[in-house]
Amino acid sequence: METILKERSNNSCELCKALDNLQVYGVPPKEGTSAEECAYLCTTCIEQIEDPEKTNENHWRILGDTMWSEFPAVQVLAYRMLNRLKEKGWPMNLLDMLYLDDDTKAWADSLEQTGNALVHKDSNGNVLQDGDTVTLIKDLNVKGAGFTAKRGTAVRNIRLDKDNAEHIEGKVDGQHIVILTKFVKKN
CB of 42 to Zn ion, least distance (A): 3
- Strands 22-26 and 38-42, by their bridges, are antiparallel
**Pick from 13, 77, 92, 94: which binds Zn ion (CB under 5 A)?**
13
| CA atoms of 44 and 145, how far apart (whole Å) | 31
Q: Which of 32, 33, 38, 29 lies closest to 8 in space, CA to CA?
A: 38
The nearest distance, CB 48 to Zn ion, in angstroms, is 9
Site string for Zn ion, 34-63 (x = CB under 5 A): --------x--x------------------
Site size for Zn ion (CB under 5 A): 6
Smallest distance from Zn ion to CB 19, Å: 10
Q: Where are the beta strands (DSSP E) in 32-144?
A: 38-42, 134-136, 140-142
Of 73, 105, 79, 104, the residue nearest 91 (C-alpha): 79
Report the length, in residues, of the chain.
187
The answer to whether 184 touches 135, Cβ cutoff 8 Å, is: yes
Q: Which stretch binds Zn ion (CB under 5 A): 14-22, 26-34, 84-92, 99-107?
A: 14-22
Nearest distance in Å: CB 186, Zn ion: 40
Instruction: Give the footprint of Zn ion on residues 110-129 (CB under 5 A).
Output: none
Q: How far is the CB of 7 from Zn ion (least distance, A)?
A: 18
DSSP one-letter code for 183: G
Q: Tally Cβ neighbours within 10 Å of residue 127.
A: 10
Of the residues 1, 4, 18, 142, which one makes contact with Zn ion according to CB under 5 A: 18
Q: Does 16 bind Zn ion (CB under 5 A)?
A: yes
Residues forming the site for Zn ion (CB under 5 A): 13, 15-16, 18, 42, 45
